[in-house]
Amino acid sequence: MGNLITTPKLAGGDDVYEQLVRMHEGLSEQESLKVWAKLCLTLANHIGDRQIVEQAIALVRRIQPD
């Protein structure tokens, strides 16, 4: 079993964040949620390791908004 990497390693993280925010522009709440789900499933497929994906789900479920 692999372990989820939580240390920053994405180059241009601020730019990616901006793209993620812009991805929702002009969308209804329902469309926005659908886009999020499609992105998550696409990335989960790319990761290809169910245990890593499950670790990520568990992590984000524990994190409460500020």
Model confidence band, residue 64 (pLDDT cutoffs 50, 70, 90): low
Which pLDDT belongs to residue 2? Answer: 85
Residues in the chain: 66
**Taking residues 8-16, what's their average pLDDT?**
94
Q: Is 22 left (phi over 0), alpha (psi -120 to 50) or beta?
A: alpha
- pLDDT of 65 strictly over 90: no
Residues whose CB is less than 8 angstroms from the CB of residue 49 and which lie 6 or more positions away in sequence, other chains included = 2
Model confidence band, residue 63 (pLDDT cutoffs 50, 70, 90): confident
Q: What pTM was estimated for this model as a whole?
A: 0.81
- pLDDT of 61 strictly over 80: yes
Task: With beta carbons less than 8 A apart as the criterion, state whether 21 and 33 touch.
Answer: no
Q: Positive or negative CA dihedral for 22, 28, 34, 37? A: positive
